[in-house]
A and B are shown apart, each in its own frame.
Chain A
Amino acid sequence: DTGVSQDPRHKITKRGQNVTFRCDPISEHNRLYWYRQTLGQGPEFLTYFQNEAQLEKSRLLSDRFSAERPKGSFSTLEIQRTEQGDSAMYLCASSLVGHALPYEQYFGPGTRLTVT
């Protein structure tokens, strides 16, 4: 297991198109998070899953965003009708909740989205 992986690493799309990103967490991790990072900012929380259940969504996650984790393993984040303001680095992180605190989050390399 080489850690959290994300695909694609870079995506350039035209405004109005739909895009989908994939995250594969560390295999035994039951918790999966999505963050978004724009230039000059730290990562901002978007949503998280406990196994296959999506338990919280940030107000940053508009109706155009949807995330799934269908079998409690990999997750997808889809953005419909992309806007230039969606251009950012999308980070995925996973952790194993249930062992000793604090629950360290392991981050993937990110998917850089550019909307033209």
Chain B
Amino acid sequence: AQRVTQPEKLLSVFKGAPVELKCNYSYSGSPELFWYVQYSRQRLQLLLRHISRESIKGFTADLNKGETSFHLKKPFAQEEDSAMYYCALSSGGSNYKLTFGKGTLLTVNP
């Protein structure tokens, strides 16, 4: 069975500090990993996906198959980064359904 673990429920940093949101997964095949973000009073939206190897809003995430991790990082946090972040895994096959972690609430203090 596939599982996504986000060990931190809450993460608080100061503006300008580096931030890392942890995500570990368990899946026997080759997963596709995503980070979704939900800002206050907004819908869940895709932030980035590992296959694209892109940087969005200064965030990056590297898939580490050896450690089964997909941590989200940003070198200098901004107040507008405050949001709930969900790591998600798609097992592929033909259903592409997502398995989500429980989420990490990031607060960036001024």
Contact with A along B59-86 (1 / 0, CB 8 A): 0000000000000000000000000001
Residue contact B98 to A31, C-beta cutoff 8 Å: no
Residue contact B90 to A43, C-beta cutoff 8 Å: no
Q: Which of A4, A43, A45, A56 is packed against the most chain B CB atoms within 10 Å?
A: A43
The interface size of chain B toward A, counting residues with CB under 8 Å, comes to: 24
Contact with B along A76-116 (1 / 0, CB 8 A): 00000000000000010001010001111111111000000
Residue contact A48 to B43, C-beta cutoff 8 Å: no
Tell me if B97 counts as interface (CB < 8 A to partner A). yes
Residues of chain B with a CB closer than 8 A to A56's CB: 95, 97
Contact with B along A42-65 (1 / 0, CB 8 A): 111100100000011000000000
A77 CB to closest chain B CB, in angstroms? Answer: 16
Residues of chain B with a CB closer than 8 A to A110's CB: 43
Q: How far is the CA of A27 from the CA of B73 in the complex (A)?
A: 34
The dominant DSSP class at the B interface is: strand
Q: How far is the CA of A108 from the CA of B38 in the complex (A)?
A: 12
Task: Select which of A41, A44, A102 is within 8 A of B90 by beta carbon.
Answer: A102
Residue contact B96 to A103, C-beta cutoff 8 Å: yes
Residues of chain A with a CB closer than 8 A to B90's CB: 102
Residues of chain A with a CB closer than 8 A to B44's CB: 43, 91, 107
Residue contact B97 to A108, C-beta cutoff 8 Å: no
Residues of chain A with a CB closer than 8 A to B94's CB: 55
Q: How far is the CA of A35 from the CA of B96 in the complex (A)?
A: 13
8 interchain residue pairs of minimum CB distance: A42-B100, A107-B44, A45-B97, A102-B32, A109-B43, A43-B100, A107-B43, A42-B86
> What are 26 A-to-B residue pairs whose CB atoms are below 8 Å?
A4-B43, A31-B96, A33-B97, A40-B9, A40-B102, A41-B102, A42-B4, A43-B98, A44-B100, A45-B98, A45-B99, A48-B95, A55-B94, A56-B97, A91-B44, A95-B96, A97-B96, A101-B51, A102-B32, A102-B51, A103-B96, A104-B49, A105-B46, A105-B96, A105-B98, A107-B36
